A and B are shown apart, each in its own frame.
Chain A
Amino acid sequence: MAWVPLAVLAGVMVVALSSSDPLMQLLPWVVLTGMLLFMSARVRRMRSLERQTHRVQELAMLRHQREALDAGWALLPQLTGSLDLYARTTALLAHLLDQLKAYDSAIVGYDFLIERLPQEHPASVQLRVQKTIVQLESDHLADADDGLRKLRALQQHPSVTPVQAAYHYALLLQSVRTHHYDDAIAMAGGLLDNLRPLGVDAGYGHALLAWSFAAHAERLRLREAESPQTNAGAGAQETHSELMQSATTWWSSATLLLPVADLARRHVHLHDFSQRPPIAAATQSAVPPAGNA
């Protein structure tokens, strides 16, 4: 298609040169000027659309999700001429819907893009991880399990990228959602490093791990209460307090990165959890302390 304007120009030139009419000899220049004007208008329009897409992305970055969603939705029909901008905006809309807990709509958005990208494309992998997280959040556990199995290759990479970090978060979320707290606890060793590329959002993972430690401790306590003879009393007590100690440590780092309100907004059960006695005492501030102390 890029050669079409040149072919048109060449055709006009042949016509012009084969004619002796002076007006015809001006024709190539008129066509050339028209083409230049058309192309510069097209470039200007593309730049304007890029600026508007950029603005939507900035709104999303600043966590103004509703404004970003409205602006992105209004912009989308104008982007059909640019596949790249269209795909970027669709991915952003899906992410925003996920943030606003419109999970089913977010899945539709992710599916739309995943179906149109090659399976091994980096963007496709990222979208599949995000979709899996949304499926876990919305209790589509079987679909999410299937998705995580297909993404297993991500575990074998030597360095942790943001996509791999999101995958590790998805694994942790799956363990919590399916109440396999011991599986979640087994991830604790490398979790700090594995979630680090998420930045402050790693706090969500730390909070889930704190919850897992506390839930596992609670299970042990109940089991011990039901059949006191099967466990050596002091040993069980020690394990329980060690688990609670780990829970408070992870909660402490989670709240250092993110405010409790944000954690509870994403995972509702964390609201009550944050008010339990040993956990509440470990809560830190996610905003800098004032004064010189």
Chain B
Amino acid sequence: MQQNDNTPDERDDASGSEQGPALAQCPPFTAARLQRQLLIDQAMRFGLVMVIVLLLVPTMVTALTDRALAQPEWTNAAMLVALAGWLGMAMINTGAARRLARATLLMDFDHERAEAELAGALKPLALNRTLRILLYQRLALLRHRQGNYAESGAICQAVLNQPLGKAEHVRVPLLLILIESRLTEGDGVAAYAGIMQLRARPIALLESLQLLALQTRYEVQLGYDDSALSRIAEKTRMAELMPAPQCGAMHAMLAASARRASRAGLAAWLRGRAELLCSSEQLRTIDHVWKPVAPDDAD
């Protein structure tokens, strides 16, 4: 994400004057803002529930004991206001959930509109905690796809530091994004910690394929060739379940590792398959991006 001294709204105004309606942007992420937002969400919801309970107590006592408690005249009006507040919050959450769904659909082909949807959804106070965590998970994914690995990693780390509650199912996707961000930034230690956390959890097949790709990338990048080439038949069989580019990339990485480990036959076999699965352009990118680094650099 580009750093800018203007606030997001000011940026919107500046860009909007030149070409069409401006699309909202999410401000640069800070862990403190996330914490503040979660706190405000919780406080507002708790406050509203408490008001409703306090207003209900006299009615309940009257209904259950036949002993009429003194109630101020404004109780009914206050109850209506509280209910309206509750319904308002429900509507805000419904709107944010719809924006979340739209952002998810847009994420593959229109990053700017996806970000605008997320920015709009994250703005209101008193969002449901699970919903806010889901929105931040999508924002991390968006930043990742935009190539802003520092921010995507920061979002994942900050969200993972919070109790996830009902959004526990996003822990694995967040860890996967975090590991890839850290690997891209050359932070092998943080990537390894993430890999270990994931390995300790039961995960679905698609996620285990992603983990396999990331772990292989970690091992090849850091020069742990023996680990990368262990159980090679099983790894290639699993790689075959991945989409062609990822499958080809796995083969290209493992070929580099086999070459370093002086296993020429295996290296030729893996490279031959990689050349069938990836275009020469993809292979050049893979060879360039995943240049191995010395383990000492990462430690």
Interface residues of A (CB under 8 A from B): 6, 13, 17, 22-23, 25-26, 28-29, 54, 58, 61-62, 162, 192-193, 196-200, 202, 253, 256-257, 284-285, 287-289, 291-293
Kindly identify which residue among B76, B83, B205, B244 contacts A199, using a CB–CB cutoff of 8 Å: B244
Contacts of B87 in A (CB 8 A): 6
Contacts of A293 in B (CB 8 A): 263-265
Closest to B273 in A: A256
Kindly identify which residue among A6, A62, A193, A289 contacts B266, using a CB–CB cutoff of 8 Å: A289
Interface centre among B83, B233, B244 (most CB of A within 10 A): B244
Q: Are A61 and B243 in contact (CB under 8 A)?
A: no
Closest to B236 in A: A288
With A62-B205, A253-B276, A285-B269 as contacts: A22 and B62 at CB distance below 8 Å: yes
* Nearest chain B CB to A287 CB, angstrom units: 6
With A287-B233, A288-B269, A289-B265 as contacts: A54 and B204 at CB distance below 8 Å: yes
Kindly identify which residue among A25, A162, A196 contacts B277, using a CB–CB cutoff of 8 Å: A196
Kindly identify which residue among B60, B204, B263, B266 contacts A58, using a CB–CB cutoff of 8 Å: B204
The answer to the question of B262 belonging to the interface, with a C-beta cut-off of 8 Å to chain A, is yes
The answer to the question of B56 belonging to the interface, with a C-beta cut-off of 8 Å to chain A, is yes
Q: Are B276 and A288 in contact (CB under 8 A)?
A: no
A198 to B244 CA separation, bound complex (whole angstroms): 6
Q: Are A26 and B60 in contact (CB under 8 A)?
A: yes
Closest to B241 in A: A61
Contacts of A199 in B (CB 8 A): 240, 242-244, 247, 277
Contacts of B63 in A (CB 8 A): 22-23, 25-26
Q: Are B270 and A288 in contact (CB under 8 A)?
A: yes
With A22-B59, A26-B63 as contacts: A288 and B244 at CB distance below 8 Å: no
Digitize B255-271: 1 where CB-to-A-CB distance is under 8 Å, 0 elsewhere.
00000001111100110
Kindly identify which residue among A61, A162, A256, A287 contacts B272, using a CB–CB cutoff of 8 Å: A256
A287 to B240 CA separation, bound complex (whole angstroms): 11
Kindly identify which residue among B59, B204, B232, B242 contacts A25, using a CB–CB cutoff of 8 Å: B59
Digitize B190-211: 1 where CB-to-A-CB distance is under 8 Å, 0 elsewhere.
0000000000000011100000
The answer to the question of B162 belonging to the interface, with a C-beta cut-off of 8 Å to chain A, is no
A17 to B60 CA separation, bound complex (whole angstroms): 15
Interface positions of B from 32 to 67, Cβ below 8 Å from A: 56, 59-60, 62-63
Interface positions of B from 71 to 93, Cβ below 8 Å from A: 76, 80, 83, 87
Q: Are A288 and B232 in contact (CB under 8 A)?
A: yes
Q: Which 4 A-B pairs have the closest CB atoms?
A: A22-B63, A199-B244, A22-B62, A293-B265
Q: Are B247 and A200 in contact (CB under 8 A)?
A: yes
Closest to B64 in A: A22
Closest to B272 in A: A256
Q: Are B262 and A292 in contact (CB under 8 A)?
A: yes
* Nearest chain B CB to A24 CB, angstrom units: 9
A287 to B242 CA separation, bound complex (whole angstroms): 17
The answer to the question of B30 belonging to the interface, with a C-beta cut-off of 8 Å to chain A, is no
Q: Are A196 and B279 in contact (CB under 8 A)?
A: yes
A208 to B94 CA separation, bound complex (whole angstroms): 53
A58 to B80 CA separation, bound complex (whole angstroms): 50
Digitize B263-293: 1 where CB-to-A-CB distance is under 8 Å, 0 elsewhere.
1111001101100111100000000000000
Q: Are B59 and A257 in contact (CB under 8 A)?
A: no
A236 to B185 CA separation, bound complex (whole angstroms): 59
Q: A61-B205, A292-B262 given; name 8 further pairs at CB < 8 Å.
A: A23-B63, A25-B59, A162-B244, A192-B276, A196-B276, A253-B276, A289-B265, A289-B269
Q: List 19 A-B contacts (CB under 8 A).
A: A17-B76, A22-B63, A25-B59, A26-B59, A26-B60, A54-B204, A162-B244, A200-B240, A200-B247, A200-B277, A256-B273, A256-B276, A257-B277, A284-B272, A288-B233, A288-B270, A292-B264, A293-B263, A293-B264
Closest to B76 in A: A17
Contacts of B266 in A (CB 8 A): 288-289, 292
Contacts of B83 in A (CB 8 A): 13, 28
A193 to B83 CA separation, bound complex (whole angstroms): 61
* Nearest chain A CB to B202 CB, angstrom units: 12
A291 to B62 CA separation, bound complex (whole angstroms): 84
A74 to B86 CA separation, bound complex (whole angstroms): 41
Contacts of B273 in A (CB 8 A): 256-257
A6 to B205 CA separation, bound complex (whole angstroms): 40
Closest to B262 in A: A292
